[in-house]
Amino acid sequence: MTTLEVNGRRVSVDAQADTPLLYVLRDDLGLNGAKFGCGLGQCGSCTVLVNGEAVLSCRVPVGVLEGKKVTTVEGLGTIDKPGALQRAFIEEQAAQCGFCIPGFMMRAAALLAKTPSPTDAEIREALFGNLCRCGTHMRILRAVRRAAKS
């Protein structure tokens, strides 16, 4: 049993300690924002925040998260009330298939929390580990710039 806080809500999950956080989020908590891409920590589509730091949830066992705060893309806003980052991605239409986008958003959220006005180089560096197979990277960069300005 692991107790953690997910998007501001305290939850206890009855999963084995070595279960990846991603499985717990999707299978136990019904939060399907974070995606299973490669399962090897190489594509970034499973990125969520743990205590404000971007982590690859497919490679983080839930057992190490006792008492920690997890934020997923669902924690940034809702469909009716999208958060600033989500609005920026919508306004820039920064998605094709959209599979990787929650990971990009969470990586960008970690960046903007620490560096509210990042340079282009800082944005590129922060997003380096996230892959988009559709090739919407230029729009994603614009969306992060827009979110930083808003």
Partner 1 sequence: MKLAASLLCLVLAAGCEAARPLPEAPPGPRAVDAKLVQRGAELAAVGNCRACHTRHGGIAYAGGFAMHSPFGTIYSTNITPDRETGIGRYSEEAFRRAMHEGLRHDGEHLYPAFPYDRYTRTTDEDIAAIYAYLMSLPPVRYTPPENGLMFPFNVRAAIGVWKRMHFRPSPVRQVADRGEYLVEGLGHCGSCHSPRTKLFAEDLTRVYEGGEAEGWHAYAINEKNAAPIPWDEKAMVSYLRRGYDPQHGISRGTMGLVSHELAAAAPADIEAMAAYVVRLMKAPTPERVARARELLRDPKVSPGGSGPGASVYESACRGCHSGRGELPWDGLALSLSIGLTGESPRNLVNVILHGIPAAAGGETAPMMPGYAGALDDAQVEAVVAWMRANLTNQAPWPDIGKHIAASRKMSQDMLLFPPGGTGTEP
Residue numbers at the binding site for partner 1 (CB under 8 A): 17-18, 21, 41-42, 49-51, 53-56, 59-65, 68, 125, 128-129
Q: 80, 55, 77, 79: which is closest to 65 by C-alpha?
A: 55
DSSP type of residue 27: I
Q: Which is nearer to partner 1, 34 or 88 (CB)?
A: 34
CB of 124 to partner 1, least distance (A): 10
Q: Which is nearer to partner 1, 19 or 82 (CB)?
A: 19
Q: Residue 56: how many CA atoms within 13 Å on its side-chain side?
A: 17
Q: Which is nearer to partner 1, 48 or 88 (CB)?
A: 48
CB of 35 to partner 1, least distance (A): 16
CB of 60 to partner 1, least distance (A): 4
Crossing angle of helices 101-114 and 84-91, rounded to 10° = 130
CA separation, residue 27 to residues 40, 138, 150 (Å): 18, 33, 34
